Structures are given as structure tokens and as C-alpha cells.
Structure 1
Amino acid sequence: MQPESAETMEMNTESVVVAAAKTAVKDKGRKLIAGIASGVLMLASVVTVGIYWARDTYTIQDEGKTQQVTTWQGTVADALEAANIKLGKYDEVTPKLDAELADGASIRIKRAKEYTVFENDQTVKVWSTAGSLEEVLSTIEDTGRDVSLPASRSSERGELQPLSRNAAKIQVKADGKAVEVEATAADNVATLLEKAKVTASGIDAVVVDKIDGKLQIEVIRVKRGNVVEEKELPFETQVKETDQLFKGEERVVAEGAKGLEKTTYYRHTRGDKVLVNKEISKVVAKAPQTRVIEKGTKERPKVEAPQQSANPNQPAPAPVATGDVWAALAQCESGGNPATNTGNGYYGMYQFSLPTWRAVGGSGLPSENSAAEQTLRAQILQQRAGWGQWPHCARQLGLL
């Protein structure tokens, strides 16, 4: 049963005084009433003073705030209730809630904060009353869990928790580089990034970790936005037959060209990890050009070698050509006109120069001789020097 308050006791005492006074009036007169009333009043004063001195005063420290509370002697829980202080599920209080308190005792409350940690590539919520990020990590790692801690970079200084309670060297990693900076007990993640001259954007991830017992801050770049990727498109090759070329010959009519395809993605990356990669559009910016090749179907002319003369002083008989190869050669060289004389120093159907014409026994100008004579001299030249005397046309006719 809880003791009555001093106020209640005083009211009860006054009731006793009034009752006693009434009784005195009836029984023994006014003098007796005064004596009794004085005695009862003295008794009430003593009781009131005793009740007042039965109350104790305690000091409560709650996250840097101090207040005093005066209440009846009791436990820590009673004192907190009297001060109207509520505890969270993970808050810590010293002494324990059921501990009996003495007058002048101190009560200390450590408020738990919620942290998001990375564990096995997943985010996990934990609560801790630690005073620094290093202590938060150490407390969790003591349970055998391997975690890292995303760091707050709030612009409000009061919201930034110290990294460590002690001076230490901290490694700051960003963009493939590592910088070591001196950290004091007053430093937090934001001030250490400033010391390392590392800037983190509003969406970059800043993670605090302990590697081999040493604190490390890592800035992981986070990117979100559209990315365009280009891809070459191969060209096709088309083969066409033509009777303008001999069998076995081919020529490129149109060179092929590769095309270009552009694909746009919405991409969200965290470091080297792709979290989202969604295709938005795909267009052919440049169509591939087909490569066209022509292959010949025309039969080559056949040329029979001339018979050798028994007399070496006699000129060899003219070679026999089938398939009208000489007519084709003359057509290529001069359009088949025996009288061709363009003034360029070459004459007749086979475009003889005068020294060459005379070397094979010709007389006069080649263009002044008959077609048969010119063909005879051309056949003698071919026997002596080969088809290379007419390099361009012989190649076109497939003779070279």
C-alpha cells in the first residue's frame, strides 16, 4: 500500500481537530476545547514534517540532459515514472529498473539508435547505444557477424556521430585511390572526407568498415540515368554472275559497309554492380551496306601452239587460234579497225609501234597493211614475246 501524501495527511488532521472541538463543547466547555485543539494541531505538524522528510531527490541524466526529481523512496522505475520519462525497447538504464534508490542517487539513461548495416549484400536494421560508429561496428562484430555501416552525411552537425572516441589514422577510399588521414575524437565522416579531399554526391554510398581491426571509409559511386550503347551491324555479301568476265574472274562492284545500332538503357549502378538495367529504346542509326561481287561466266578462248619449222631459218607458221581470239584482241586494242592511226605512235588493229612492226618483218606502216598481214605479224610477235605485248587487253581476255 502506497503512503499517503502530505496533503492528504494534513486534511485528515484537520478533521480530527474539528471533531475533537465539537466533542469538547458538549462535554467540558470552551477551555477544554482550546486545550484539545492545540494538542491536535501540534500532532498534525509533527506528522506533516515527518512525511516531507520521507521523500528523496534523485538526479537523472538522459542523453546529455540532467534533471532532478523528488519522490517517495522506491526503485529506478518509480523515479522515472515520477519524472514522466519513457524508455524505448533498446534503451539502457543504470542502475537497473528494479534497483532500490537512496537519497541523492544518480540514474543514467543511454538511448539506442537505429542503424542500417550491410550484411551479406543485404541491408539489416540494428539498434545500438554505442557512442561512436567504431563502437557500433565492434559491438556487432563481437557477435561474429561481418557487417559494414552506411554513414550519415547529414548537413546538421548535431546529427553526425563521431567515428571514433580516440585519435587514429583512418583510410579513405574513393575512385580506386586510398588516402590516409588523421582522425580526432571530434571527427565524423563528413569532416574526414573533407580532410581526404574526397567529394561524395548526394546519392553516393559512404560506408564505414573495419578491415583487419582498422577503420576505413569507402565512397562507392552511385550512378542513375540513361546510357547509350553502340553496336556494329555486319554487312551481307551478294554474289552476281556476269558474262562480262571470264570464268574464274571476279570484281567488287560495291564495297560493303558496317551499320550502327544504338540502344538506350536506364541504368542504376553501385560501384561495379549493376542494380537496374532496363532497355528503353533501340534504333538503327546507320543501315549496313551490302557488298556486291560479280563472278564471270564467259568461256576463255583457246589458242593452239604453232608447229615448229624443220628449218630454223624459216619463220614459224602462224599460230592457230580458236574462239576468234585475234578478233577479240583487235577489238579490244583498236575497235577492230586495221587503219587505226591516232597519232600516238601506235598503228593498226593490234597497235604496233614501228620498231616492233619492223622487228617481226613488217614493212611500211601497220595501218597501211591488210588485216590478214597485221594478224600474221601479231601472231609472230606473240610466239616470240607472249601475250604480255598487249598487257591490258590480254588480261581482260584472260590470256594472262
Structure 2
Amino acid sequence: MEINRSHFLPSLSFGKKLVISVISLILFGGVITYAVYEATKATVTLSIDGEEVEVRTHASTVAELMKEQEWNVQEYDQIEPGLDSTISGSMNITWNQASEVLVTSQGLEESVWTTAETVEELIEQLGIEYKKYDYLEPGLEDEITDNMNLVYESAFQVELTSDGEQQEFWTTSTTVADFLERESVTLGELDRVEPKLTERLDRESEIKVIRVEKVTDVVEESVAYGTVTRKDNELTSGKEEIVQAGEDGKVSKHFEVILEDGEEVSRELVKTETVKEGKDRIVAVGTKPEPVQTVSRGSSSSSSNSSTSNSTSTNNSSSDGRTLTVTATAYTAGCSGCSGVTATGINLNQNRNMKVIAVDPNVIPLGSRVEVEGYGVAIAGDTGGAIRGNKIDVHVPTKADAYNWGTRTVKIKVLD
């Protein structure tokens, strides 16, 4: 069976045209719809940390816009107008993203979120009153960056006394040592600081630097000569002769002296050197008995009476209560080469504190008890070559005591 193709050709051509027309109409409608959709979008200019971005949106609020653009707004970010604001027509939105800053103020640390652009803006927001001498790091003009460390210390006054000068400083130092280092104050090995270097400074303070010196002072001193007595059986008992004159010695004393700010605070003897040897005074003391004069039993009564009269006179001269004014010096048995034994046999080296005086036996008999003004009751138990007339020499335990006694005019009373 043959098909007549020519019968169907006009029909197929019409169908194709119809399909194309429908599709074109749909596409045109879509374009129109899209155009209308785009035309109804709002134009928003968004400034993000100073950089501008322009977007078109059908979002009804700022919050919807941020969500639509997948922009994450943090709690401390600053958005103007706010997230609840309605979007309409052409609109400008400012979004400042907050940065986290670690702020250390007066030693206390705090994490701060801020949208400030500079350090100066941030410290104003924190209510910090920055003054000329305060410590601030970074500086006022530095820009805020995320995770920045900001350190602030308020300055206070410190009074420094050093090298004879008193000065006032503004400082933010934390310790005395830190302050001295900042002000270029150099300390010597012995120098002292008040308060101590480790002491904290957090308020107005007074700091003293005491300059300490250690010096050696050499002083020469005379050393008094001693007196040595030697028994001499060629001399009559009670007599003395100077065999050798005494001569003072000389020593050099080395002292360690501590000076604080130029004033002496301590002195310690560290060494003594002999510069010149002294010579003892050597005195010979007679031990030869005096010849004894005897009276014949056949003597006349006149002789006897004369003898009795002399005896009475002698007894009267040494009677109780006789008072004399004498010159008193002092001596000691504690000297180099001294025997320490008196003319009457008293060993003064074994009796250092015994009160004994040297006398002129013609004035005060040996063995008498004598009360000496300023000395006490003593035994007239010694003699001396220089002890003549109204002169006595009192025995004392040490040379220092002898120097202290010196030469005095005193009253004495012969007790018995």
C-alpha cells in the first residue's frame, strides 16, 4: 500500500511552528519574570571594616541579608543600622568587626573585644586617663589588630637621694632595682639601698642610695715604759737608784674604717706593728740591812733619858690620825722584767688588786696603814728612788689604771 507523503507535509510543518512558538513564549515569560524579579531587588552598599561591597537583595532585614550572604556577625561586632532594621531601596550598611585584645593594666590582665581602630580610641573606651609619664605599649597611634597585647602602667612619683642630691622622678618601675636601672644609677659593691632592691614600687616612695667605703687608717701611738725593780744588796735597805732611764715605745695601729656617705660608722683594729721598742726604767732597791745602834746598859741616866726622849719623839711622829698633803703618782708591777716584789717583800704579781703605796720611810714608816684620798686604805709597803718627802706612789693593777690616775695632790691619814 502506498502512502501519499505529500498529504502530510503541511500538517507537520504547522506543528513544529506551534512548538517553537510555545517555547519562545515560555522563555520570554521567564525573561520577563526574571527581569521583574531583579528589578524589584534592593541595592545595598555594605562597608566592611572600611571596604565597600555592593549587593542586590530581596532580604527584608539586615539580619536576613547577612544570613543570605553567609556573613557571620559576632556578638561584639558593630552594625549600623542594626540587624533588625528593614532593608528598602538603596541602603548603606556599616559593619565593623570586633578584635580581641589582651589588656594588662596595673599588673591585671583582661581580654577585651573592641571595634576601636587605634590604641588611643581603645584606652578612651576603657576609661584610662593616659598621662605624659605613663607607660603604654603599643603607642597611641598604633592600629588595633586581632590578638594584640596592650600594656598600660600608671606613673607615680619617687624621691631619690643619692650622692648628696635629692631628686624627684616619675616612674612606672615595678621594683627598686628596676627603677635604679632605668635611671642609670650605678651601685658599688658595698653600697646599700633603702628600701631593698627587691622591694616593689607601686606608690609614691623614697629611695636612698648609701655610698659605702672601706678604708684603712694608720695611727701611731706611744707606749709608756714600765718600771723594773731589782734587789741590790750593795744598797742600804730603803734606798733606790735608777740604773736605766725609761723610754717610751711607739706602735702603728691599722684600723679598718667603714664610711657611709663620707661619715665614719665603724672602726675595727686589724693589725698592730711595733715601730719603736720601748725601754723599761730599771730601779735598784737596796736590801742591805742598816747598822743597828745599841745603848750600853751602863749608860748614864741622861743618855737613857735622851734615848727615851728620842723614842717618844719617833712614836709621836707616827701616832694615829696624822694627816699629810702629798703628791701621788701611780705604778704597776705588770711590766716586762718587773719582779713585782716590794721593798717589804709583798709579791704584787700575785696580789694585783692589793692596795700598797711606796713611801719615803723618813716620812711614813714602812708597814703603816694609810688612808689615801681617792684610793682607800693601803699598806706603806714599798719605796722608790724618786719617792722623797711628801710624795707617794700608789700601786694599781694595770698600766691603763696608772695612766688614768696620773699625778694628783691628795690628803692622806696615817692610821697606825
TM-score, length-scaled by structure 2: 0.36
* Higher relative helix content: 1
TM-score, length-scaled by structure 1: 0.37
Q: Which has the higher contact order (CA 8 A, sep 6+)?
A: 2
Structure number with bigger Rg: 2
* Higher relative strand content: 2
